[in-house]
Every structure is written in C-alpha cells, then in structure tokens.
Amino acid sequence: MPLNDFVTLGHSGLRVSPFCLGGMTFGEEWGIGSSVETSQQIIDRFLDRDGNFIDTSNVYTRGHSEKIIGDHIGRHPARRDRVVIATKFFANLYQGDPNDGGASRKAITAACEHSLRRLQTDYIDLYWLHCWDRFTPVEETMRTLDDLVTAGKVRYLGFSDTPAWKVAEAHVTACLRGWTRLIALQIEYSLLERTVEGELIPMARELGLGVTPFAPLKAGLLSGKYTRANAAQAQPRRGASLAKALNEQALCVIDVLIDVAGQLGATVPQIAHAWLRSRPGVSSVIMGATTVPQLDENLKALDVQLSSEHLAALDKVSRPTLNWPADALANIGMFGYGGTRINSETFPVNPRAPQNDDERY
C-alpha cells in the first residue's frame, strides 16, 4: 500500500493518507523532540512520500509544534492547501487562568485564534477536543465548534481522550440540533492497549467516526529496543510507569512480534504499525518520528503484508480483558440467532432453546 492510497476519514469526504505524521515531537522543549531543522526535514520527507495528514496540538512542545508547522507550511498558501492539518484544543497554556483551558465557548474561541496564528493559516482542517471537559455542558462545546465551522475557521471536527458515552452524546446532540457532526475519534490503540475495543471502537464504527490511533508503539515499548533478554535492565524513557508496563504479558506480545518480523524480514515497529492498520474501524495511524531515517523505517510498514496466520497469532497473544458486557455479547449470538446464518456469519444452535415446534410451549 502506498502512502497516497488515501482513505476518507469517517463519514466525510475528507481524504487522508493511511499514516498521519504526529507533531508531538516537533521542537525540543519537552526534552524528547527534534530540532526545528530536523522537524522540517521530517515534514518534507513525509510530504515527498505523498503523505498529506499532519496532527498536532496547541500544547505540544508548549505551542512550538504548531509554530514549526506554520513556519514551514502555513505561510505558503499553495503548499498549505495540499495538506490536512489537524490540531487540538483543551490544554491550558496560561497557568492560573481558569478560562484558558477546557471546552467552554470562551476557551475554544481563544484557543482557535491562537492556533491559527501559530499555524499561520486561515483555517484548521480537523479540530480535535483533546480531552473531555467535565465542567462544560456538551451542548456549549458542540455549538461553539459549529460556529467555528460556519465562520470558515474550521473544516471538520473530532474528539480525543473522551469516554464513549460522552462522544455519543456530543455526536447525537449535534445531529439533533443540525450542528456540525463529529467525523473522527483519536484514541490510544496498540498491541499493548486494546481495551478500546470494548466500547470506543464499536461506537466509532456505529457512528461513522474514523479512528486515528496514537501511540502505536506504546511509547517505545514496541520499538524493538526491548526484549525478554534485556527486560530486567530496560529503562524506558518515561520511567517507572512504562517500566511497570514491560510485564510478562507485554513480553509475550514482543516475543510474537519478533517471530513474525523475522518471518517477514521486517522490524518489530513495522509489524506493530501494520497490525494496527489492519484493525476494523482504523482510518489513519498517527506515526511519530524524531529523525528522517526513523520515519523512513516506520513507513516501510506500508509494504508489510500480514497473513491470516500472523494476524491470528498477534490477536491471540494481545487479546485484552474487556469490561462487561463485551465478552457476554461476543458469545451471545446463539441465543438470538441460533441455527441461522446472517451477513455471512453462522451461529450455532442453542441447546437450551426448543429444538422443534413440538417442544415450544
């Protein structure tokens, strides 16, 4: 699959590349990112490969990520119009000001103006709610976002880091009021984080939201640097929390990744990215890179063809324990559809149900 094998994002006509370039590491303010020059080189390489989707946030590297994108793309109209730029609001950039962060009308309006200034553009292609604001009514958030679309400052809307029930409430509220609907959902999703398959992924598929997963390598745990052999000495860059996540379950997943990668002549991160691209509901995977060679290596995931046996092995070793009633619903088919075949799915006979007309009261 080439990077210009574009997909429509959710229930919309917006065409995006199957991998999205993540801008969280544009800038060195957080101590883990790339210089301005390297960030620009990464952007150029991604665009030269025909990628067209870049994701950032008003808070990434304290706003510098947006400015790097704006200096390199936003100020050049011909180049700007060829790129789908997504950014986020919610984060408070003025500590101590209760109205700077969140999803109120005041906060969203100000955040949008600041992002437009840093991005040096007249419009944002996709504007994300970064996190659910439990202090603001969802009607206020959705009406304000609709006003920004009407004003031409924003083209499309999405939610990130928000419970499924609140996303559904926001989406349905917009539908009922005739406001601009959501088209996308951004969530953490990887072979080491699959609990989103309980509520968020099914909700997104039902509502027509394109899923753009972030952290496909679980903050580096699936980068290939960590193996069962070196786990005891491993020091993940985010410290204790990720060191704790490098547990027996994670090592079992890494074992299978290494095996599949060896069979296909690929790398562990390439297999992890390819697996995520194959998941139902996923539109475009957000891919991070701090160097051009790292970007090139990760983009080779486009050439990886996972067989049904590979997918089954990865699915089995990484299968999560989901909240009730996910497992119950997955095995409930015979009670409602026993002995039938619907949409190419066959359901076994329910032994507790009447087996013929004579047994029915």
60 is known as an active-site residue: yes
Structural tokens at position 118? 């840093």
- Spans in the chain with pLDDT lower than 50: none
What are the residues whose beta carbons fall under 8 Å from the beta carbon of 127, sequence distance 6 or more? 86, 87, 88, 89, 112, 145, 148, 154, 156, 157, 158
Give domain status of residue 102, yes or no: yes
* Rounded CA separation 180/332 (Å): 36
Report the amino acid identity of residue 28.
Answer: E
Domain with 42, as residue range(s), is: 7-226+267-306
pLDDT attached to residue 328 = 83
Q: Phi and psi of 95, rounded to 5°?
A: -55, 135
Tell me, yes or no, whether 357 lies in a domain: no
pLDDT of residue 333: 84
Q: Is residue 133 part of a domain?
A: yes
C-beta separation of 130 from 89 below 8 A: yes
C-alpha distances in angstroms, 171 versus 139, 142, 204? 10, 8, 10
pLDDT at 254: 97
Residue 137 lies inside a defined structural domain of this protein: yes
pLDDT tens by residue, 289-300: 999 999 999 999
CATH number, residue 207: 3.20.20.100
Close Cβ partners of 275 (under 8 Å, ≥ 6 residues apart) = 191, 306, 311, 314
180 DSSP 8-state letter:
P
pLDDT of residue 244: 80
Phi, psi dihedrals of residue 191, rounded to the nearest 5°? -65, -20
Render the burial of 176-189: b for 16+ CB within 10 Å, e for the rest. Answer: eeebbbbbbbbbbb
Report pLDDT for 223.
Answer: 94
Q: Please return the burial class of 102, using the count of CB atoms within 10 Å of its CB with bins 0-12, 13-18 and 19+.
A: buried
Separation between Cα atoms, residue 12 and residue 171, nearest integer Å: 14
| pLDDT value of position 238 | 56
Taking the CA atoms of residue 162, residue 165, residue 169 and residue 172 in that order, the dihedral angle to the nearest 10 degrees is: 110
**332: its two tokens:** 């409930």
Q: Which of 60, 127, 156, 189 is catalytic?
A: 60
Give the pLDDT confidence score for residue 359 in this predicted structure: 78
Q: Where are the beta strands (DSSP E) in 123-246?
A: 124-129, 154-160, 182-186, 210-211
Report how many domains make up the chain: 1
φ/ψ of residue 89, rounded to 5: -125, 160
- For residue 46, being part of any structural domain is answered with yes
Q: Show the tokens assigned to 130.
A: 């970064």
67 is a domain residue? yes
Residue 163 maps to a domain: yes
pLDDT of residue 60: 97
pLDDT for res 235? 65
DSSP string for residues in 310-323: HHHHHHHHHPPPPP
